[in-house]
Amino acid sequence: MGSKTVPAPAVAAARTLRVLVGRLRRKMMDATAVGDLTSAQASALARLVINEPTTASVLAGAEKVRPQSMAATVAALAKLGLVRREDDPEDGRRQLLFLTTEGRAYAQGARASRHEWLARTLAEGLSEDELAVVNEALVLLGRVVES
């Protein structure tokens, strides 16, 4: 099976997009930090909203951190009353993680804050014509994601 060489413009676009997405994610987390959560804690909480219930091991894999690091993150979130642990009924050696009412409210508020921050930043930083270009690029990126 022969491999095709990826054109240089595609390689450059991929590199730039990867870097920008990472920087945008970090900026959004920093700009919308609420309370005393670290970015790792906020990220784990946001992921738990999507994948509840889950285990600390699954969260560690999703966040690309060591299980020991995630265990410390989960312990801090539990101490703050944002997550609770329950024994897994199918495997007594594992614990499942759930959001508490407070944890869910925090995560939803943080998501709304990030959305508001990004919309305001786009509106303040770009002209109408530039926003139109961004929206066109998003349609193209959507096609890439769906392919």
Looking at residue 126, the DSSP 8-state letter turns out to be S
pTM of the full structure: 0.67
Could you list the pLDDT tens digit for every one of the 147 residues in the chain?
456 899 999 999 999 999 999 899 888 877 766 567 887 888 899 899 998 999 999 999 999 999 999 999 999 999 999 999 999 998 888 999 999 999 999 888 888 888 898 999 999 999 999 999 999 999 999 999 898
Looking at residue 2, the DSSP 8-state letter turns out to be P
Conformational region of residue 91, where left means phi above 0, alpha means psi within -120 to 50, and beta covers everything else = beta
Q: What is the CA radius of gyration of the chain?
A: 19
